[in-house]
Every structure is written in structure tokens, then in C-alpha cells.
Amino acid sequence: MAESPFKADIERVQKEYSEKMTPGAIATIPGSSVINKTGSWRVFMPEFNRDKCVRCYLCYIYCPEPAIYLDEENYPVFDFDYCKGCGICANECPTDAIIMVRETK
């Protein structure tokens, strides 16, 4: 899997994220969502078949997280730190290049 393009942000927020309680538990450094990895509650995961993909980007557009980004050749890449396994990408994909399989690890 390619490296997340948010890596720099993640590192910055991890470094700066205040441990001190603010009034109203307000997060004063935006971007804390990048360190709360929401991929942990996934039951099914998308499995990608590059040969079937026509690079229409429907999966990329519809992913609600958004946990899909595009590699240098504009093929979708899935970020399993944040993919919640909703299956919307598989549902939208016109060529069945994405199928949902049970999370094994």
C-alpha cells in the first residue's frame, strides 16, 4: 500500500496535539481526526482488482471518509487507517473492480 499523503499532517498533529484539557474539551489544534484512526471498527474491507478498473473515480467520489486517494497512474488506493468498510465504493463501482471481503486480520 502506498504511503498516506497525510503522513506529514498526522505527524504534526501527533506532536502538537494538546494533552491539556481546554474549556469545553475543545480541540484547539485542528486535524485531530487524522490521529483517531476510524478504520478499527471495519468488518468488511474492499478488495481491489486493478485489471477491472476503468479509472472512473466513482469510488473516490463516493467514499464518505474519504479513505480513497489516487496513485501516480490515477488508480484508487485505499487507506485502511480510515476505511470503515461501508462498501459504498464496491456498490458504486461499475465494473466490479471492488468487492467486499471479510476482514481477516
Partner 1 sequence: MPMRKVMKANEAAAWAAKLAKPKVIAAFPITPSTLVPEKISEFVADGELDAEFIKVESEHSAISACVGASAAGVRTFTATASQGLALMHEILFIAAGMRLPIVIAVGNRALSAPINIWNDWQDTISERDTGWLQFYAENNQEALDLILIAFKVAEDERVLLPAMVGFDAFILTHTVEPVEIPDQELVDEFLGEYEPKHAYLDPTRPITQGTLAFPAHYMEARYTVWQANENARKVIDEVFEEFEKRFGRKYQKIEEYRTDDAEIIFVTMGSLAGTLKEYIDHLREKGIKAGAAKLTVYRPFPIEEVRELAKKAKVLALLEKNVTFSVGGALFQDFSRALINESEKPKIVDFILGLGGRDVTFKDLDEALAIAQKALNGEEFNEVNWIGLRKELL
- Distance CA(66)–CA(63), nearest Å, equals 5
| Residues forming the site for ligand SF4 (CB under 6 A) | 46, 53-59, 63, 65, 67-68, 76, 78, 83-89, 92-93, 95, 97-98
The 8-class DSSP code of residue 40 comes to: G
The helix/strand/coil state of 38 is helix
Q: Which of 8, 26, 73, 102 binds partner 1 (CB under 8 A)?
A: 26
The helix/strand/coil state of 90 is helix
Please identify, using beta-carbon distances, which residue of 13 and 93 lies nearer to ligand SF4.
Answer: 93
Q: How many residues does the chain have?
A: 105
Contacted by 57, from partner 1, ligand SF4, none: CB < 5 to 8 Å by type: ligand SF4
Contact 34, 41 (CB under 8 A): no
Determine, following the binding rule CB under 8 A, whether residue 74 of this chain makes contact with partner 1. Answer: no
> Site residues (CB under 8 A) for partner 1?
21-28, 30, 32-33, 36
